[in-house]
A and B are shown apart, each in its own frame.
Chain A
């Protein structure tokens, strides 16, 4: 079957999708977006966390056909998503009152950004492998600065979950952070650096306001 949906602000179509296929598989194998990681395939690890209509979900547990017409944000689009949110005082998901309910998708899609450079201005002409020159989202920068990335496999899911928590709860307690990240497993760092990173992002965010 064919599935049409919006990924990181751009309309996408995937063809020949098997009916039992997950959103994660479509993202990684059909749309060339390997940022969301495939680990447990049963919703235990959170490595595949994306936002579906603004809500953090495990993309391995969403059937591809269920995203027809809906909006997905992956780690590849996180920097752009965060930048737009900052510019539009908090509303990026299309779930807020302002705007037409289509969020960021239509304008962006109509710009005709070529595939591979589709994930917003921040990624233009940048080296997607090294991230060199790419302007990161505050949460991404905080993870680097706090040394919260070791092997990196859990990082994309943690970034999506942490970013969404900071959107909802700008001044989180440690308990808030732990709860928000409780569905994301890291097997390297032991979470302390991750906690530091989210605290750092929260502190920078509140300074900036």
Chain B
């Protein structure tokens, strides 16, 4: 095994081009587990810790450019307002020690269906900035996950950053596990309301071969909110609408039975989380609307 230690992003790209099989390591919270257990013996480890810019973020007009290695701890502490869904999801990652090391780039690189960041990224709308010596491209999050632990990266590409839209409405994240800390999601659900476009987006984790959106549920809910004039009148969501939204979210799952839970349980739990997340976000939206408009 060789340990490659590029001092800059350009050097990292050059190293990845020269050794496409090199395994990038940043926080190490996935890669080192595999090495410790002898599940993986990469020919090259490509250490990204010395590329300082990967740990930085920029808040722009409409979005956040989040460096691939920004630790979850930083996201929780600094980006709660801009990226509420991702901040909530970050807080559910493992433990403080892991959150101090791990970041979204690693979650995307591993592309496990159980990665906690994925539902939030899908719901918020994100693009992955991938780069190689050949150039840079933005991969829409919807096209990023290509299979179980597979993603759209080319062998010579590295993830530099993730571009995530700033929240224009309430966002929620929910995750099922046996305790609060150190839990690999049995299943997880993210929801973002987008009042500016009058749309909603979802993300489901650990309930299909890849993280997925519940598109039919999104379309149904957007249409129902529109028809009922809910965005303007801020009324309580009709129980039948919430129920149907939950059913459609369950239907978007394609889960398996495994040690953490059965397929049936996952489908059911995703429906419960969808209904709750909808209630939480909608109550928050109504509350915010009441505050901005003043109470008559």
Contact = CB atoms under 8 A, between A and B. Distances in A.
Interface stretch (B29-37, B162-170, B265-273, B286-294): B29-37
Interface stretch (B10-18, B41-49, B118-126, B244-252): B41-49
B96 A161 contact: yes
A187 B2 CA distance: 38
Interface in B159-181: 180-181
Interface of A: 1, 18-20, 22, 41-44, 46, 49, 55-58, 60-63, 65-66, 68, 161, 179-180, 182-184
B1 interface: yes
A62 B30 CA distance: 11
Contacts of B97: 43, 46, 49, 56-58, 161, 183
B45 A182 contact: no
B29 A183 contact: no
Contacts of B45: 19-20, 63, 65
Contacts of B37: 41-42
B138 interface: no
Nearest to A157: B97
Contact of A55 (B25, B42, B100): B100
Interface in B48-85: 49
A55 B212 CA distance: 34
Given A60-B36, A66-B28, A43 B100 contact: no
Contacts of A66: 25, 28, 47, 49
Contacts, number: 88
A131 B181 CA distance: 33
A61 B33 CA distance: 7
A103 B180 CA distance: 35
A20 B32 CA distance: 8
A161 B41 CA distance: 31
Contact of A182 (B2, B25, B100, B181): B181
B125 to A, nearest CB: 30
Contacts of B101: 57-58, 61-62
A179 B33 CA distance: 23
A46 B3 CA distance: 26
A75 to B, nearest CB: 14
A60 B47 contact: no
A1 B25 CA distance: 17
Among A20, A49, A183, the most chain B Cβ lie within 10 Å of the Cβ of A20
B225 to A, nearest CB: 36
Given A58-B29, A58-B101, A184-B95, 15 more contacts: A19-B45, A20-B35, A20-B41, A20-B45, A41-B33, A43-B33, A43-B94, A44-B182, A46-B95, A57-B100, A61-B32, A62-B101, A63-B31, A179-B96, A183-B98
A61 B1 contact: no
The 10 closest A-B pairs by CB, nearest first: A183-B95, A182-B181, A19-B1, A19-B3, A41-B36, A65-B3, A61-B32, A42-B33, A20-B35, A183-B97
B140 to A, nearest CB: 31
Contacts of B95: 43, 46, 182-184
B5 interface: yes
30 contacts: A1-B3, A19-B1, A20-B1, A20-B35, A20-B41, A20-B45, A22-B32, A22-B36, A41-B33, A41-B36, A42-B33, A43-B29, A43-B97, A43-B98, A55-B100, A57-B97, A57-B100, A61-B28, A62-B101, A63-B28, A63-B31, A63-B35, A65-B45, A66-B28, A66-B49, A68-B5, A182-B181, A183-B95, A183-B98, A184-B95
B255 interface: no
A37 B246 CA distance: 45
B33 A183 contact: no
A44 B144 CA distance: 28
A182 B35 contact: no
B27 interface: yes
A56 B35 contact: no
A42 B96 contact: no
A54 to B, nearest CB: 10
Contacts of A65: 3, 5, 45, 47
B25 A63 contact: yes
Contacts of A41: 33, 36-37
B271 to A, nearest CB: 28
Contacts of A161: 96-97
B29 A56 contact: no
Contacts of A60: 32, 36
Contacts of A57: 97, 100-101
